[in-house]
């Protein structure tokens, strides 16, 4: 479990394909402190297991399924990624609960400056968009962000200067892909309500019962 508060950015040293899977090697400093083999590190929003660790770098195996549902396969040597160690239960949760299990890949369709901040508009598949709500939380490349608005094809977020500086969002451009993880609470609520109502949870049902 993670919080979506990025600790540092690391650099891709290697991405070696091995059949349908891959091994990713990244440079890092802060996230390697007290990290041992078998620990989890969130890489651009994807929970990966440390399988090798050296001087200022670590390696993680990326399964075929992970390559299929995330943008890790697009990484190239020299690119930077967002890194976060797993949450300690005694730590402050500065963002929201992030599992590192990416739901889908979105794409930046607009990036415009608003004062000293930036507004990013993200396009995403409809089957995952239903979990996005205005003022709710979303993890974008492992960064905990608040949803500013929702449209029929995606959503937008406001990114403050600090976040743009210490994460990869500052160097992302229109057309770039982003890993998206929706709020886990929404998925559990939908599952529980569907079980109780025979799978008939929709907008009409919510309106009928005073939830919309």
27 & 81 share domain? yes
Is 101 a known active-site residue? yes
Is 47 a known active-site residue? yes
Of the candidates 101, 158, 164, 177, the residue annotated as catalytic is 101
pLDDT of residue 178: 98
Is 146 a known active-site residue? yes
Of the candidates 14, 63, 195, 212, the residue annotated as catalytic is 63
Confirm whether 211 is domain-assigned: no
Of the candidates 3, 25, 27, 40, the residue annotated as catalytic is 40
Is 162 a known active-site residue? no
Is 49 a known active-site residue? yes
- Tens of pLDDT along 85-101? 999 877 777 888 899 99
Is 60 a known active-site residue? no
CA distance 112 to 92: 32
78 & 145 share domain? no
| Residues in contact with 18: Cβ distance below 8 Å, sequence separation at least 6, in sequence order | none
Query: How many Cα atoms within 13 Å fall on the side-chain side of residue 171?
Result: 9
Specify the number of domains making up the chain.
Answer: 2
- Tens of pLDDT along 25-73? 999 999 999 999 999 999 999 999 999 999 999 999 999 999 999 999 9
Query: What CA dihedral angle connects 47, 137, 10 and 107, to 10 degrees?
Result: 90
Q: What is the CATH number of the domain that holds 117?
A: 2.40.30.20
Compute CA 6 distance to the chain's CA centroid, rounded to the nearest angstrom.
11
User: Which structural domain range is residue 118 located in?
Assistant: 104-189
108 & 81 share domain? no
């Amino acid at each position: 479990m993670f919080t979506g508060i990025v600790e540092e950015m690391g650099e891709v040293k290697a991405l070696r394909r091995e059949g349908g899977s891959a091994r990713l090697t990244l440079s890092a400093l802060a996230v390697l402190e007290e990290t041992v083999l078998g620990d989890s590190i969130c890489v651009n929003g994807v929970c990966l297991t440390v399988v090798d660790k050296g001087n200022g770098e670590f390696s993680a195996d990326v399964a075929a399924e992970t390559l299929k549902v995330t943008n890790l396969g697009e990484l190239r040597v020299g690119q930077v990624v967002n890194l976060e160690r797993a949450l300690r239960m005694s730590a402050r949760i500065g963002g929201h609960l992030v599992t590192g299990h990416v739901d889908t890949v979105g794409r930046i369709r607009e990036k415009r400056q608003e004062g000293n901040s930036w507004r990013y508009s993200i396009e995403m598949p409809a089957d995952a968009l239903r979990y996005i709500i205005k003022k709710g939380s979303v993890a974008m490349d492992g960064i905990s962000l608040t949803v500013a608005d929702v449209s029929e094809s995606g959503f937008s977020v406001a990114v403050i200067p600090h976040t743009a500086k210490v994460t990869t969002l500052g160097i992302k451009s229109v057309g770039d892909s982003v890993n998206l993880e929706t709020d886990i609470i929404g998925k559990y609520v939908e599952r529980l309500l569907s079980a109780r109502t025979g799978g008939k949870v929709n907008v009409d049902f919510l309106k009928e019962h005073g939830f919309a």
